[in-house]
């Protein structure tokens, strides 16, 4: 029986993943944690245990893992790309020391670990189209540096200590439950909110800039599928390319116009996030994930747009 600890449980992925895991593994078997309590998570708070946990404090992780007899850690607490560039020292501390502490506790207590990597683990010298699973990884953001180092560290703990570490390289994630916390791909979430609220959006990423993206239900499916995959079939572990779609701002706007024809898009490009976006792939090759654990997404751009707009309309009371 799995006893799961989720770090960063109030973030964009964690807030939805925790609820799904509680449904699948039982409310008592999924402990949510976050550095601080945030408003607006009543459902999550009421459905099971919540612990305040700062992942830069290894002792705290160890105490919570022992207290709840945790055997699986889903480590989501991290600083994203744009926020990372504003404070690289903090990004290194939370992303690297946080992961190191989680892996050390996992080694001592015999836990398995899932932690996401990102398209940010690639850089300017990586092939941009159909980016292979195994390729050049020389990112130039602190977020990307921590993601590559994290992939290597997770593989190291598997080979050296037998810790069952697994991960995926997530593209930009689009969801309606909790906003992303300061990434480069966030425009693809904000655009839906603004399309419904004001029928126009000013985009901080330039026309023609393609990035990989995925709808949250597919991201959650990827985590659970990989966590439950037969280890004998995994040739890779940290971390698998996964993707669902690739688009630029004009293409997502065109998809929105199928439902909101008067929607207008203009641009006020942020040079920091634009440079980050340009250093990332246009589209990933996810064939290793498909072959080794049966990955395949359910949503494309139009089916995501339809669902996002329906769900957000209800959420925003429109
Ligand atoms: N969505 C993330 C970001 O933009 C990528 O992992 O930072």
Which CATH number does the domain housing residue 268 bear? 3.90.25
Is 294 inside any structural domain? no
| Whether residue 143 lies in the annotated active site | yes
Q: Are 33 and 73 in contact (CB under 8 A)?
A: no
Q: Does residue 206 share a domain with residue 156?
A: no
Closest-lying ligand 1 atom to the alpha carbon of residue 184? 4
Into how many domains does the chain fold? 2
Q: Does residue 98 share a domain with residue 138?
A: yes
Is 48 inside any structural domain? yes
Q: Does residue 52 share a domain with residue 78?
A: yes
Structure confidence at residue 109 as a pLDDT band (50, 70, 90): very high
Q: Does residue 250 share a domain with residue 138?
A: no
Over the stretch 49-95, which tens digit does the pLDDT of each residue have? 999 999 999 999 999 999 999 999 999 999 999 999 999 999 999 99
CA dihedral 168, 282, 278, 219 (to 10 degrees): -30
pLDDT value at residue 165: 98
Over the stretch 152-161, which tens digit does the pLDDT of each residue have? 999 999 999 9
> Is residue 30 in contact with ligand 1, taking CB distance under 6 Å?
no
- Mutation probe of ligand 1 site: the residue of 8, 120, 140 with most atoms within 8 A of C-beta: 120
Is 229 inside any structural domain? yes
**Contact residues for 218 (Cβ-Cβ < 8 A; gap 6+):** 244, 297, 298, 299
Tokens of 91: 């990004």
Q: Does residue 187 share a domain with residue 140?
A: no
Distance from the alpha carbon of residue 73 to the mean position of ligand 1, in angstroms: 21
Residue 286 has pLDDT above 90, yes or no: yes
DSSP 317: T
CA dihedral 63, 66, 68, 72 (to 10 degrees): 110
239: preceding bond cis by omega (within 30 degrees): yes
pLDDT value at residue 83: 95
Distance from the alpha carbon of residue 26 to the mean position of ligand 1, in angstroms: 30
Q: If you take atom 2 of ligand 1, which residue's CA is the nearest one? A: 183
Residue 38 has pLDDT above 90, yes or no: no
Q: Does residue 226 share a domain with residue 156?
A: yes
Q: Does residue 154 share a domain with residue 57?
A: yes
Closest-lying ligand 1 atom to the alpha carbon of residue 170? 6
Q: If you take atom 6 of ligand 1, which residue's CA is the nearest one? A: 118
> Is residue 281 in contact with ligand 1, taking CB distance under 6 Å?
no
Q: If you take atom 3 of ligand 1, which residue's CA is the nearest one? A: 183
Closest-lying ligand 1 atom to the alpha carbon of residue 116? 6
> Is residue 172 in contact with ligand 1, taking CB distance under 6 Å?
yes
Q: Show the domain range for 230.
A: 4-171+216-241
Whole-angstrom Cα distance, residue 112 to residue 166?
Answer: 8
Tokens of 6: 């989720």
DSSP percent split of the chain into helix, strand, coil, nearest 5: 45, 15, 40
């Amino acid at each position: 029986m799995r006893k799961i600890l989720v770090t960063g449980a109030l973030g964009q992925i964690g807030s939805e993943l925790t609820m799904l895991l509680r449904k699948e593994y039982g409310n008592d078997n999924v402990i949510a944690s976050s550095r601080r309590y945030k408003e607006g998570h009543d459902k999550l708070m009421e459905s099971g245990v919540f612990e305040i946990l700062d992942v830069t404090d290894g002792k705290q992780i160890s105490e919570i893992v022992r207290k709840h007899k945790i055997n699986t850690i889903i480590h989501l607490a991290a600083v994203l790309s744009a926020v990372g560039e504003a404070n690289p020292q903090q990004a290194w501390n939370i992303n690297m020391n946080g992961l190191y502490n989680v892996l050390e506790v996992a080694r001592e207590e015999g836990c398995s670990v899932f932690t996401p990597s990102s398209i940010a683990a690639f850089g300017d010298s990586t092939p941009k189209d159909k980016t292979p699973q195994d390729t050049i990884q020389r990112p130039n953001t602190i977020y990307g540096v921590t993601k590559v180092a994290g992939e290597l560290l997770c593989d190291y703990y598997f080979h050296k200590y037998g810790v069952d570490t697994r991960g995926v390289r997530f593209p930009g994630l689009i969801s309606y439950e909790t906003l992303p916390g300061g990434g480069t791909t966030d425009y693809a979430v904000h655009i839906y909110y603004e399309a419904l609220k004001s029928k126009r959006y000013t985009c901080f990423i330039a026309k023609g800039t393609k990035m990989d993206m995925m709808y949250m239900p597919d991201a959650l499916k990827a985590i659970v599928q990989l966590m439950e995959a037969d280890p004998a079939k995994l040739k890779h572990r940290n971390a698998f390319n996964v993707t669902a779609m690739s688009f630029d701002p004009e293409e997502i706007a065109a998809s929105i116009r199928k439902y909101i024809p008067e929607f207008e898009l203009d641009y006020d490009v942020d040079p920091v996030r634009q440079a980050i976006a340009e250093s990332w792939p246009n589209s990933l090759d996810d064939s290793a994930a498909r072959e080794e654990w049966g990955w395949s997404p359910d949503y494309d751009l139009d089916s995501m747009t339809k669902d996002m707009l329906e769900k957000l309309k209800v959420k925003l009371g429109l």
